[in-house]
Structure 1
Amino acid sequence: MRWTSVVWSIVCLLLLLSLIYPLSIVTVFFMILPATILFATLNFRAFVLHVIPVWLIAMIVHPVNLLLGIYFIIPAIVMGRAYKKKAPALRTLMAGAGTILAEMLLLLLIGTVFLHFDLSGYVHEIVKMTMSPLKDVGGNNPLVNDMAWTPEDMQKVSDATMQMIPFAMIISSFMMAVITHSLARPIIESIGFHVPKLKPAREWMLPKSLIWYYLIGVVVEIFAHNSSNSFWTMIAANLVPLLHICFMIQAIGFFYYLGYTRKWHPVVPLLFAIPILLFPPMRIIGILDLAFPLRQFMTKSKR
């Protein structure tokens, strides 16, 4: 019952209570952090003694907070258990992100089957509510009347948003796991527990099979462009952007490797990483780094 554990219990409670306010769009990404730290640094009995009061207080404020607490405690336990076992950092990240994604899918399945939740209709209402001011502006101003949003335009935006939901779910779950690991690892280390960290950026090397997946995705995207089959359109809309992000990560790793071998100042690879994030076509460097022995070529040319 150290004071640090009590502090993290309070942080967990405050984050849980914040979910009923608009600020939740930010705080939700930190939801599993306190419980992860508690599970990794306490035995199971002490962990339960810290979590139960948090749930009881949150439930008194609003009963739905108990369900949210249970929802976010599961990936926290998964990542905390991985930290206890000294699992590699990448495996911990994948386990945490996979658990969050599985919970999202399960929640969507339960809402659709048992609660008759219409995700398509909900997305359409959100798009309609968001775009209605633009429609009103276009309808009241003759100078921009041609730019007014029609119901067909809103339906196209709704359909495109629906197709990108799997991509958004994967990215959001991975971001939650990355944020949790980035903050939890140094905190747990400062308490006195060793936690494996990710490999240095210069050692990042993704599987070469991503090149073949990318080629398949491009072919699917070409055939799905004018196709009425929504299944293939959804695959193309999600697979290709995910692979683009992978290639951007690979490109960043390449510049860090180049900076390490050429003895550059540590800021230089970071300066290369920024335009990669801001100018996506630079991912071609990551593709070349995977498809060809680009790093070995640069090392030989140095010699």
Structure 2
Amino acid sequence: MKQRFAPAVWSIIYLLLLLSLLTPFSMVTAFLLVVPVAVLFAALPLKLFMLHIVPVWLAVALIHPIFLVMAAFFLVPGVIMGQLYRKQEPAMKVLRYGLAALLLELVLLLVVGTAFFQLDVNQYVDEIVTMTTQPLEDMGSSGALTGGLTWTAEQSEAISRMTQMMLPFAMILSSLLIVAITHAIARPVLNRMGVSVPALKRAKDWRLPRSLIWYYLLVVILDFASQDSDSRFLEVIVVNATPLLQLCFMIQALGFFFFLADNRKWHPILPILSAIPIVLFPPMQIIGILDLVFPLRQAFSKNKR
């Protein structure tokens, strides 16, 4: 692809991604919508950027106004990440700012929707869960489920309640996936277009703050406290903080295996394969915790000498 045609191609991609939001593919394409904005803003001057973006917005506005709302939502993190790419800021800073922008927008949407449009997220989640689990309830009541299995309304209610409480975690995880996918695609594209973009640290150098251990201990204490309390606030904190910390420990454990493979000159595929048991077998997270608490990497480096 010649560099002079690249912005036009990304404008077409941007248009197609916006149009896909009202199709069944939206569950996938929504995670890609920040990419064209970030690429175009980083590679072009502001006037040329607007020259490529505005026609796309006008085209989708003629089809349905909802496209403009979605475009505006994904424009903000795209512009922020594109500006940081243009300044050649560290990759981790780009991810943090993009993540913060998406989260703030999601919170703002919830506040505005609740205050002005009578949006009830809990009721919406309950309706989705009920619609999803109703066939299981019908099968259970008719004896269609095999092995003596049953599905009751109480189980559906429990899932609905847990889903409602884990909304913050879902918002954080989805925002994190969007910025991570954006960086993974935008960086090589921008490098080919002549815009130098710093890479993330190599996996063997991934080290998370040791303070996560104290956060983990605090969550454990809050978990015990919430069991003897009727406070929904404490329960929400525990339910959302626990999987986030577990995800952090998984990343730390994966970084340790990459370090170990590099230190011992193992085959590069081995640390990649280690991700499978780390994700599927939760107790493997203890490796990430130990790597945070103790100087394991220094010990292995000394042993090698």
Which residue of structure 1 aligns with residue 214 of structure 2? 212
1:69-80 alignment runs, 5 A limit: 69-80=71-82
Counting only pairs closer than 5 Å after superposition, residues 140-289 of structure 1 correspond to structure 2 as 140-141=142-143, 147-289=149-291
TM-superposed deviation, 1:93? 0.5
TM-aligned CA distance change 1:70 to 1:143, over 3 Å: closer
What's the offset of the Cα at 1:225?
Answer: 3.2
Give per-residue Cα distances to partners, 1:193-234, cap 9 Å, x unaligned: 110000111111111000000011111112223532111000
For residues 143 and 18 of structure 1, the distance between their equivalents in structure 2, rounded to whole angstroms, comes to 37
- Give the counterpart letter for 1:5 in structure 2: P
Partner secondary structure for residue 198 of structure 2: coil
Q: Is the 8 A contact 1:139 1:145 kept in 2?
A: no
Q: Counterpart of 2:24?
A: 22
Asked whether the 8 Å contact 2:10–2:36 carries over to 1, the reply is yes
Of all paired residues, the percent bearing the same amino acid is 49
Partner amino acid for 2:173?
Answer: I
Deviations 1:142-164 (A, max 9, x none): 76697443333322211111111
Q: In 2, distance between residues paired with 1:295 and 1:142?
A: 54
Note the alpha carbon deviations across 1:255-276, whole angstroms, 9 max, x for none: 1111111122222221222321
Query: What does 1:110-121 correspond to in 2, within 5 Å?
Result: 110-121=112-123
Alpha-carbon deviation of 1:278?
A: 2.2
Give the alignment partner of residue 70 of structure 2, picking from 68, 71, 74: 68
**In structure 1, what is the equivalent of residue 47 of structure 2?**
45
**Closer/same/farther in 2, CA of residues 262 and 66 from structure 1, 3 Å limit:** same
Distance 2:105 2:192 in 1: 31
Three-state SS of the structure 1 residue aligned to 2:22 is coil
Quote the residue 2:293 is aligned against.
291
Contact 1:202/1:260 (CA < 8 Å) preserved in 2? yes
> Which structure 2 residue ranges, 5 or more long, are not aligned?
none
The match for 1:109 is: 111
Moved more, 257-266 or 165-174: 257-266
Q: 1:117/1:298 Cα in 2 relative to 1: closer, same or farther (>3 Å)?
A: same
> What residue identity is the alignment partner of 2:180?
V
Further displaced range: 258-267 or 102-111: 258-267
TM-score, normalised to structure 2's length?
Answer: 0.96
Q: Distance in 1 between matches of 2:188 and 2:45?
A: 20
SS in 1 for 2:197: coil
Moved more, 155-164 or 84-93: 155-164
Find the aligned partners of 1:170 and 1:155 in 2 and give their Cα distance.
24
Whether 1:5 aligns to 2:22 is no
Across the aligned residues of Structure 1 and Structure 2, the Cα RMSD in angstroms comes to: 1.5
Structure 2 Cα separation of the partners of residues 138 and 84 of structure 1: 57
Residue 172 (structure 1) shift: 0.3
CA distance in 2, matches of 1:280, 1:179: 25
Separation in 2 of the partners of 1:142 and 1:191? Answer: 58
**1:68 is aligned with what amino acid?**
M
Aligned residue type for 2:155: D
- The residue type paired with residue 191 of structure 2 is E
The answer on whether the counterparts of 1:138 and 1:145 sit within 8 Å (CA) in structure 2 is no
- Change in Cα spacing, 1:238 to 1:34, as seen in structure 2 (3 Å) is same
Structure 1 consecutive aligned stretches of length 4 or more whose deviation exceeds 4 Å: 142-147
Name the aligned partner's letter for residue 262 of structure 2.
Y
Once residues 271 and 157 of structure 2 are traced to their aligned partners in structure 1, the CA distance between those partners, rounded to angstroms, is: 43
3-state SS of the aligned residue for 1:87? coil
- Residue identity in the other structure for 1:34: P
TM-score normalised by L of structure 1: 0.96
Q: Is the 8 A contact 2:140 2:152 kept in 1?
A: no
Q: Which runs of 5+ in 1 are unaligned?
A: none
What is the alpha-carbon distance in structure 1 between the residues aligned to residue 109 and residue 149 of structure 2? 38
